[in-house]
Structure 1
Amino acid sequence: MKFSTKEDIEAPIEAVFDMLGDFEFFERAAMRRGAEVQRTDTKNVPGVGMGWRASFPLRGKRRQVDIELVTYDRPTEMVFECRSPNLIAMLTVELVALSRSRTRIMVSTDIKPLNLSARLLVQSLKLAKTSLTKKYKLRIAEFAKSLEDRHKRVA
């Protein structure tokens, strides 16, 4: 099951990529929302092979996911593989420079079940695909706006 959307950001492509590559910022944000996040690699600079183990409450249960950065192509693309015992998801973030000060961000998430219970979950998600797609697009639009605002504060 795949979700995708695109948004335009009033910021240069390098600045947007740098904000997306500020992994410590995202780790802190996840912790503020109740997740436990641990780095699973020892890299000092961003790149392929970076990894995290995250644990968070969802629907009354504690869930765990392992995240690995599998593509890091500065300044145009990052791909994350997110694995749980039941699902695997690929999160792709692509950037395209529209002008010196404008960047298009394209985000897609592809979810694949690994067992029967996950298949049932994905099947039920397909029934609600229209509303889930709307929510996905709204969240990415909010995220893009936050990146734009962050850039304006720094610039």
Structure 2
Amino acid sequence: MKFSTKEDIEAPIGDVFDMLCDFETFERAAMRRGSEVQRADTKTVPGVGMSWNAVFSLRGKRRQVEIEMISFDKPDEMVFECRSQGLMTLLNIELVALSKNRTRLMLSFDIKPLNLSARLLVQSLKLAKTSLTKKFKLGVAEFAKTLEERHKRV
């Protein structure tokens, strides 16, 4: 099951990519929302092999996820593989320079079940795909807006 969207950001591609590489800010944001996030690697610069372990609550259950960066192509693309109980998810973040000060952010999220219970979960998500897609697109639009505002402040 795949979700994808794109948003345009009023900022140069290099600046947008650098903001997306500020992983400590994302870790703190997740922790403020009640998640436990811990780096699982010792890399000092962003790149392939970076990984995190996260624990969060979803639908009343505690979920664990392992996240690993599997592709890093500065300033164009980052791909993350997320593994959880029975699910494998690929998160693809792609940037395209539209002009000197305008960047298109393309984000896709592909969920693949690995066992029967995960297959049932994905099947139930498919029933709500329209509303989930709308929420996903709104969330990415808000995220793009915050990146744009962060760029203006600098």
Q: Where on the TM-score scale, by shorter chain, does this alignment land: which range?
A: over 0.9
Whole-Å separation in 2 of the counterparts to 1:111 and 1:8: 24
Which deviates further from its counterpart, 95-104 or 126-135?
Answer: 126-135
Deviations 1:49-98 (A, max 9, x none): 00000001111111100000000100000000000021010000000000
| TM-score between both structures, scaled by the size of structure 2 | 0.99
Whole-Å separation in 1 of the counterparts to 2:58 and 2:127: 20
Q: How many residues align?
A: 154
Any residues of structure 2 matched to 1:102-117 within 5 Å, and which?
Answer: 102-117=102-117
Which 5+ residue runs of structure 2 have no aligned equivalent?
none
Whole-Å separation in 1 of the counterparts to 2:17 and 2:72: 10
Which 5+ residue runs of structure 1 have no aligned equivalent?
none
**After TM superposition, what 4+ stretches of structure 1 lie above 2 angstroms from structure 2?**
none
- Among the aligned pairs, what percent are the same residue? 77
Whole-Å separation in 2 of the counterparts to 1:35 and 1:135: 20
The answer to whether structure 1 residue 6 and structure 2 residue 15 are counterparts is no
Whole-Å separation in 2 of the counterparts to 1:70 and 1:85: 19
Cα distance, 1:12 vs structure 2: 0.3
Whole-Å separation in 2 of the counterparts to 1:12 and 1:108: 21
Report the secondary structure of 1:18's partner residue. helix
Deviations 1:14-55 (A, max 9, x none): 000000000011011111111111111010111000000000
Aligned to 2:96: 96
Report the secondary structure of 1:106's partner residue. strand
Amino acid aligned to 2:64? Q
Report the secondary structure of 1:42's partner residue. coil
Cα distance, 1:2 vs structure 2: 0.2
Whole-Å separation in 2 of the counterparts to 1:57 and 1:135: 18
Report the secondary structure of 1:123's partner residue. helix
Aligned to 2:71: 71
The answer to whether structure 1 residue 28 and structure 2 residue 28 are counterparts is yes
Deviations 1:110-141 (A, max 9, x none): 00001101101101111111111111111000
Amino acid aligned to 2:100? R
The answer to whether structure 1 residue 37 and structure 2 residue 5 are counterparts is no
Report the secondary structure of 1:91's partner residue. strand
Aligned to 2:54: 54
Aligned to 2:153: 153
